[in-house]
Structures are given as structure tokens and as C-alpha cells.
Amino acid sequence: MNVGDAPHQQALAEGLPDGPGKRLHAWSLLFELFAELRGVAGWAFPLLLGSFSDRFGHYAVAGMVIAAVFVVISSVAKVWIFRYWITDTQLVLRNGWLEKTVRRIPWTRIENLTVTRGLAHRLLGVAEVSIEAGGGEEAEAALRVLSRRDALALQTALGERRGGLRTDARLEVAGKREHSQPLLKLDAGELLRAGLISNRGFLAIAAAFALASQLDDVLPFWDWITGWPRALAQQVGLDHGLLFWAALAIFIVGIGFVLMRGLSVSWWLLIYWDFRLSLEGDKLRSDYGALTRVHASATRDRVSKLLIADGLGHRLMNRIAIRVGVAGQRESQSEHSALIWVAPVLALDRVNDLVKAVFPGCERAGLSWQPLHPSCRLRVFRLELLWLFLLIPVALKFGAWSLLLMPVVGMVAWLTARSYQRYSAHAFDGRFLAFRSGILDREEWIVPVDRIESIELRRSPADRRHGTARLLLDLRSAGPGERCEIRYLDVNEAQVLAMNLRREVGNCGHGRS
């Protein structure tokens, strides 16, 4: 046997197709290193903090060096070993370092092929490809990264071997884009409203304070926070009285609020810049992003649930937000690899039209909403009272007089329960089931009957005492987070609703009870 035949003989032994297979792009090592570093950041960060310690600093540095060497070796091995083959019936992948694995993915099993091109991808002329197939909690495979030509060849192969092409990105090649119907375009003003509604800035500031508290030995962050007000007071000749500290507190809260909203607005402008939603045939497609341009899509028959978010901030600005759950979509997927947002922010007068575009035939304005059982108010009030009892020990720390506020808290709990009962309702028109609930942050979901996989009625001891039941729905090809639930239904009404749903789902030919 010739030496040149060794790779061919090894491929035959592993059951691989003929030929050397295709490699990843030369820049793959850079992106793989970055991905590996993100994966070890969780436990590498304590080592970084420990490196500043006088006692254990050298151990922490040694640990970081060992981790860095392992990351480099692992990344080089992954990129060097990875191969893929495109055949007439399947996509074959070989990867693995210490333990080599060969995966064969039939073209018929591939539900989606996602191409992500961030700023670095565009500068280097590459693309990251994720392959999603049914039956798994994670993406079937990730090719990090391919040249634009190889990524386009993979897209073309999927399109030729399947009747319909389900890809999440075009690679900006020459040629006409298929006919698309624009559904939504968000300008900077709408994104500004979304940023003011969102609490992303609060999360960023909270993370910054948490990081600063861990670095207090290195960076005297808290000394700066407490020191500059005193220095300011001495500079202007003010006494550190109650009035000064009250004014300072109001000033700091105001600055913090402006900073939080500014960060939220910046995040929304950066992530969702030039957001466009369109309908291409039977496929919903969204395109957005300033630095990383995201292209996400899903056919309408894969949309299992539509969720309308209506928080307090949304109502103040006469806006809502619409998300969707897609069959086969994994919980681990990010917004870069799945259609999640149909409308991050939307004017109220456009909601019904957009719902109809996602679910053809759904007349949201014509739904007949039915209230929940009257005992709903009392049961929600009891749950709210639980928080009241938990607050009593905290209130006692401020003195017995603080207990005088407990009746006020109880009144708020009662008003909260009444608001929940008044707003919460369900509707069923034979094709779509809808449910809305909430108090300050309200939400409404709509599910097509033909997306329901199973129907279950449950009754807890409290349900049996109040004559109510709970309806649980599992959606087709959805993860655990996609289960829908309707609480506080009258037991007779719940049984009739479940019977009607089972009949309609049975007519679709795939549900189970």
C-alpha cells in the first residue's frame, strides 16, 4: 500500500465518502479560539481575581497559563481534524479530538440552516453556519467558519436536495432576491421607545456594581463612591446634614436613571438597527443589526406560539412587543440563530394585521374572551398576602411603627388580585386558542390548534375545593419552555374546552390526549 493511500484507507475504515472532504477556512482557528475562551471565561475569571493575591497569585497565574495552553491545543486540534462531505443524500461531518465522531445528517432532517456574519466575519470574508435538525435540544452541527463560497455551496446543496430552501441568510451574492412582502420596518424613533421601555441598562449597571465589589481590593470603587460626595460638600462649603444627603440621593438616582435608559437605548440601537420583517412566500424573515447583521427566518407552519408582551412601559407609550416560538427551536439558541422577535416594538393599531400575517385566518379582534372562575381573585390575593407575611420581619427592623404600613400593602395586594381577574381571560374560535393574563406586565399568547401535541387537565386540592381546573398544552416539536397553561378555569368549562380541543386536534391527525 502506498503512503498516499493512507488517508483514503482511513476514510473507508471510518465509513466516510470518497474524497478528502472539505476543510474549514484558515481563519477558523481565530474564531474557535474566541469560542473556547468564552466557554472557559466562567471559571477563568476567579483565577484572574486570584492572580492579584499575594498568597495565591502565582498559583492562579500558573492555572491561567495551563488553561491557555489547553485552549490553544484544543482549538488547533478541532480545526485540523474537522471535515465535511456533501453527498446526494446526506451531509457527513467528522469531528472530535480525543474521540473522533462521524455524523450523517440526511437532507430531509435538516429543518434550518443558519448563516451568521458579524463584523469580524464580514471583514475576513467568512461566515459561520449552524445546522438545525429535528429531535435535539441543541444545534446538530456548527461549522465555524467557512468561506462565503463554501457557505453558499452548502446553502445551494440544501436547496437542490429539498423542495424548499430554508436558510436564514443570504450571502450577498449577485442575483435577484425572491419576492418578499414587507411587514414591518423599525426606524430609530421606534428603537428609542423600545430602549426606554427595556431594562437592559439596569442589568448592565447591576453587573458593573457586582464586578466592582469583587475588585474592591484592587480598585477602591466604593471609596470613590462614598468619598466624592464628601469632597464635593467640602468644596462648596455645605454641611453634611439631612437636606444635603437627600438632595444628593435624588441627584444620584436621577443620574442612574438617565444612565440606565441611555445604555438600554444604545443596546437596542446597536442590536436591532434597521430591523425589517418580511414575508417571502410562506416564510417569515427578519433582518437586523448594526455590527453583527442577523438574518433569521422560519416558515409559518413552524410557528407554534405567538406571544404578545404588554408591560407597563409599553402601555405608557402605546406599544407592545411580539415574540414567536418556533417548532424545533432549541432553548440554547440565541437570537442570532432563530426567529424570535416578530416585532420588538409595535404600535397598537398594527397588532391585529401582524398577527394575521403570522397566523393566516386569525381574527384577534373578533375573539370572544371568556373570564376565569370568580375564585381567581381570592386565590391570587392569598398568594400576594404571602409576600406580606414575608415582609413583616424586615419591617420590624425599622421599628414597630412600620407595621402600620401593612394594611396599605394588603390593600395593594387586593387591588392587584382584582386587576388580574379583570384582565385575564381565554378565547377559542375553533382554529386558535388564546389566553391573556398579568397585572403590571401583561402577556397574551395565541396557539393554532394544529400545533397542539397533547392536552391535559389537572386539578390540585385547591382546584377541587373551588371547582376549578388547569389546562396544560404541549406544542408540536417545542421545548419544555413552550408548554402553555391556563389556570383558574371553571371545571365544567375546562372539560368542554378540552373536549373541543381534542376533537379539533384529532381532525388534524397528530395530537394525543
Give the angle subtended at the CA of 57 by the CAs of 56 and 58, to the nearest 5°.
95
Match 404571602 to its residue by C-alpha cell.
386
- The residue ranges of every structural domain in the chain are 195-271, 370-508
Residue 496 has pLDDT above 90, yes or no: yes
Under 8 Å between Cβ of 42 and 57 = no
pLDDT at 175: 37
Over the stretch 181-215, which tens digit does the pLDDT of each residue have? 899 999 999 999 999 998 776 767 766 666 666 55
Over the stretch 387-429, which tens digit does the pLDDT of each residue have? 777 777 776 776 666 677 778 778 888 988 999 999 999 999 9
pLDDT at 176: 40
- Sorting pLDDT into bands at 50, 70 and 90, what band is 468? very high
Amino acid making up residue 481: G
Strands (DSSP E) along 60-160, which ranges? 83-86, 90-95, 101-106, 110-116, 126-133, 141-147
- CA 420, CA 399: separation in Å to the nearest integer? 33
Under 8 Å between Cβ of 408 and 395 = no
- CA 88, CA 414: separation in Å to the nearest integer? 65
Task: Summarize the confidence of residues 298-315 as an average pLDDT.
Answer: 89
pTM of structure: 0.74
Under 8 Å between Cβ of 183 and 278 = yes
- CA 191, CA 205: separation in Å to the nearest integer? 20
Burial grade of 297 (CB within 10 A; 0-12, 13-18, 19 or more):
buried
The lowest-confidence range among 9-18, 117-126, 277-286, 339-348 is 9-18
Sequence-distant (6+) residues with CB within 8 A of 266 are 195
* DSSP single-letter state for residue 348: G
Over the stretch 307-358, which tens digit does the pLDDT of each residue have? 999 999 999 999 999 999 887 665 444 554 456 889 999 999 999 999 999 9
Under 8 Å between Cβ of 92 and 18 = no
Backbone torsions φ then ψ of 238, nearest 5 degrees: -100, 150
- CA 267, CA 335: separation in Å to the nearest integer? 14
- CA 293, CA 279: separation in Å to the nearest integer? 18
Instruction: Name the 3-class secondary structure at 285.
Output: strand
Q: Does domain 370-508 have CATH number 2.30.29.30?
A: yes
* DSSP single-letter state for residue 512: B
- Sorting pLDDT into bands at 50, 70 and 90, what band is 373? very high
